[in-house]
Amino acid sequence: MSTEPVRSEALSDFALDTSKKDLKAVVADFRVRMKSGDLGSLPAILAICVLVAVFGSTRRSSFVTAQNLANFFEQAAAVIVIAMAVSFVLLLGEIDLAAGYTAGVAAAVLAIRLKEGWGLPAAIVLSALVAIALGLWTGVLVAKLGIPSFVVTLANFLVFQGILLILVKEGGSVRIDNDIIKGIVGNNLSPTMSWVVAVVGLLAFCFGQVHKRRRSDGVIAAGIVVARIAFATVVVVALVLILNRNRAFATANSEIRGMPYVIPLVLIIMLALTFMLDRTRYGRHLMAVGGNQEAARRAGINVVRVRLSAFAGCGLLAGVGGAFLASRVNSIDPNTGGNDTLLLAVGAAVIGGTSLFGGQGRMLNAVLGGLVLALIPNGLGLVGEASPLGIDIDFGSSGVKFICAGLALLLAASVDALSRKRTA
Amino acid sequence: MTTDTPNLGTPLIEVVGVNKTFGAVHVLHNVDFKVYPGQVTSLIGDNGAGKTTLIKCITGIYAMDSGEVRFEGEHVKISGPHDAAVLGLEVVYQDLALCENLDVVQNLFLGRERLKYGLLDEASMEQSTRETLASLSVRTVKSVRQKVASLSGGQRQTVAIAKAVLWNSRVVLLDEPTAALGVAQTKQVLDLVRRLADQGLGVVLISHNMNDVLQVSDRVCAMYLGRVAADVAITPETRREFLVELITAGRSGNVGLQAAGEVVV
């Protein structure tokens, strides 16, 4: 068979791939997707909009301030990074309950080595190696021995907590004096650099969108591309304008201005991981193993190696999250990475739309979900005591914050379950 | 009935004298099986007759106790799916083994992705997918970027078969491709099976549905309790009852197994 007729035949077939769509068709497509339960990260984006609108209108003076905005991103950063770590194993349909303490142990190694006088690069390398080793240990037990990851990481939750306790000594803490580590969460770009980063980021986003549209042969409507770029521009410009205002207390003798480092840092990590998942062979294999392990095995993919490496990657990334955790309080203690860290991280991924059953999810989900889970306590704390319907409630109390975060997670899980039911 | 000496050239795949035991159970007894290019060879038999075991022996998933596999007359050793793939031998299993969370292109190239500068070359893979589907005259898949989860059973079967033929394969073994399909979808898949053979591939069709077998097959190999009861050509005169008797009793008229287990053809 000659290739020419095949080519022309191929073009006339597969109508959906090649036909141009206008905005109306896109909206219709979108409605079909919604009805079939393919929600993606839409609930998280809606939640962010609703929360910002509610807190912004009820607590305008405190919520929409430069100080709170910067604070908010710094609160969210560590959980987002650990959520991205957990996303790796969630994509396989596994879970890592010990990721929080992996972050804690890695942070402890980093802090202790720095205190012992090691140089920063050496301390970072050792901390990363320890984080990878902890991930590999989990991976060997899960992928090679076949123990369910829930059980393995439940045990590791205790083991890693024990390691952290021994490293830090009960009741103790290790201060971090290194300026670079301290600056990860807390320091800001200069206002000029903030604009440079914002413009570069926006240009990259525009380029990506336009490139995607060109490659799609015009299947993506031009209107959608313009709308996305316009939305991103408005959000980014507004953020930079607010963050570039001075947010130091009136009594302070120096100014605080500019975009916190964590924003570009988290974005870079997210983009790098997304690129790896979407554009490399390894990422494709990871998604395949998460979707159907048997199919992946028959396709010649080394399933054991993919699963092992995913746990190792989860460990390494959790270690990075550990550095964020340590940087926020400039020290580590036996609770670093403990408490609700892991639960918030898993919750963030799920709220963002990553499935607990594997094969579905993106790194962006972890970021969006992490923002939702940081918005809730941040906003509630500012609302403080209020009396809706005549009942006195202290919205700033930990109890109310936990209940609201839990309800948000339940809501996200129900949306996931309901949409699954609809598709099945 | 036709004789067993057709002038079809060298078989693409020929297995001779295969024996296989699982512990005390002798599953395959001196099985001979041939697949010719451009022919659909149906492999029929009751549950437990040894069809799937034979396929797994051929593709190297099970090791044979004795016997030989010849590919185009040459002795070959197949000790796993990889060796089979190198020879151009592809199996489409009953459970299809597709990743529902991936789209058609991603499934077709799974494990053998094309790279450009170290990254996935989506444009080239997408084009090849369209060409492969078009060459099989598949008209039911409207977008190669659809997730497999959104495809119907017949479309999935089509994708699984396309996945098997994308690699310039020579022999395609289909395990019950129509078992879970409706009438219209069954027809589409059978048409596709026929087209594969017309393109010169050797096609093996495992089926319980005698109508399907009579409709598309050129030859039929009937197995009965681990033995080959008959290996004959299908002619317009071949009756459904003949095949059913071969399956259930191992013989029909003067064709089939003797009581002692000797093969008479």
Which pLDDT value is given to residue A166?
A: 92
Q: Give the end-to-end CA distance of chain A in Å, rounded to a whole number.
A: 40
pLDDT band at A33 (very low <50, low <70, confident <90, very high): low
DSSP per position, chain B: ---S-----S-SEEEEEEEEEETTEEEEEEEEEEE-TT-EEEEEE-TTSSHHHHHHHHTTSS--SEEEEEETTEEE---SHHHHHHHTEEEE-TT----TTSBHHHHHTTTS--EETTEE-HHHHHHHHHHHHHHTT--S---TTSBGGGS-HHHHHHHHHHHHHTT--SEEEEESTTTT--HHHHHHHHHHHHHHHHTT-EEEEE-S-HHHHHHH-SEEEEEETTEEEEEEE--TT--HHHHHHHHHHSEETTEEE-TTS-EE-
> Which residue pairs, CB below 8 angstroms and at least 24 apart, start in A302-309?
A303/A143, A304/A143, A304/A144, A306/A92, A306/A282, A307/A92, A307/A94, A307/A139, A307/A142, A307/A143, A308/A136, A308/A139, A308/A140, A308/A143, A308/A144, A309/A139, A309/A282
pLDDT band at A96 (very low <50, low <70, confident <90, very high): very high
Contact at 8 Å (CB) between A17 and A219? yes
Which stretch, A134-138, A405-409, B34-38, B149-153, has highest mean pLDDT?
A: A134-138
Identify the closest residue of chain B to A292 by CA–CA distance.
Answer: B99
Domain chopping of chain A, boundaries: 40-187+260-423
Which stretch, A81-85, A188-192, A232-236, has highest mean pLDDT?
A: A81-85
Contact A3 B141 (CB under 8 A): no
Q: Which tens digit of pLDDT belongs to each residue from A288-323?
A: 999 999 889 888 889 999 999 999 999 999 999 999
Which pLDDT value is given to residue B2?
A: 42
Residues of B (175-204) whose Cβ lies below 8 Å from A: 199
Which pLDDT value is given to residue A20?
A: 56
Which pLDDT value is given to residue A370?
A: 92
Does the domain made of A40-187+260-423 have the CATH classification 1.10.3470?
A: yes
Sheet order of strands, B219-224 included: B89-92, B171-175, B202-206, B40-45, B219-224, B227-233
Which pLDDT value is given to residue A8?
A: 42
Q: Give B240 to chain A, closest Cα distance, Å.
A: 35
Q: Give A35 to chain B, closest Cα distance, Å.
A: 13
Contact B110 A292 (CB under 8 A): no
Domain chopping of chain B, boundaries: 1-88+170-265, 97-168
| pLDDT > 90? residue A70 | no
Q: Give A302 to chain B, closest Cα distance, Å.
A: 9
Q: What is the mean pLDDT of residues A209-227?
A: 75
Q: Using CB atoms, which residue from A13, A36, A284 is nearest to B113?
A: A284
Computed over every residue of chain A, the mean pLDDT equals: 84
Quote the CA–CA distance of B135 and B31 in Å, as a whole number.
Answer: 35
pLDDT band at A252 (very low <50, low <70, confident <90, very high): confident
Q: Using CB atoms, which residue from B111, B138, B139 is nearest to A299?
A: B111
Q: What is the mean pLDDT of residues B194-213?
A: 89
Which pLDDT value is given to residue A9?
A: 42
Residues of B (92-151) whose Cβ lies below 8 Å from A: 93, 95-102, 106-107, 110-113, 115, 118-120, 122-123, 126-127, 130-131, 133-135, 138-139, 141-146, 149-150
Q: Give A299 to chain B, closest Cα distance, Å.
A: 5
Q: Which tens digit of pLDDT belongs to each residue from A97-132?
A: 999 999 999 999 999 999 888 888 999 999 999 999
Q: Which tens digit of pLDDT belongs to each residue from B216-254?
A: 899 999 888 888 888 888 888 888 888 888 888 877 777
Which pLDDT value is given to residue B265?
A: 46
Substitution target in A9, A280, A292, A294 with the highest count of B β-carbons within 10 Å is A292
Contact A6 B134 (CB under 8 A): yes
Chain B hits for A298, CB-CB cut-off 8 Å, are: 81, 93, 97
Q: What is the mean pLDDT of residues A11-39?
A: 61
Chain B hits for A215, CB-CB cut-off 8 Å, are: 122-123
| pLDDT > 60? residue B56 | yes
Q: Which tens digit of pLDDT belongs to each residue from B11-37?
A: 888 999 999 998 888 889 899 999 999
> Which residue has better confidence, B135 or A196?
A196
Identify the closest residue of chain B to A37 by CA–CA distance.
Answer: B150
Q: What is the mean pLDDT of residues B124-146?
A: 82
DSSP per position, B6-22: ----S-SEEEEEEEEEE
Q: What is the mean pLDDT of residues A323-335?
A: 89
Which pLDDT value is given to residue A11?
A: 41
Q: What is the mean pLDDT of residues A73-85?
A: 92
Contact B99 A9 (CB under 8 A): no
| pLDDT > 90? residue B6 | no
Q: What is the mean pLDDT of residues A222-247?
A: 86
Interface of A with B (CB under 8 A): 1, 3, 6-7, 9-11, 13-17, 36, 215, 279-281, 284-285, 287-288, 290-292, 294-296, 298-301, 359-360, 423
Identify the closest residue of chain A to B126 by CA–CA distance.
Answer: A17
| pLDDT > 60? residue A145 | yes
Contact A14 B149 (CB under 8 A): no
The CATH T-level fold of domain B1-88+170-265 is Rossmann fold (3.40.50)
Q: What is the mean pLDDT of residues A270-283?
A: 93
pTM of the full predicted structure?
0.84
Among B153, B138, B250, CA closest to B191: B138
Determine the residue type at A370: G
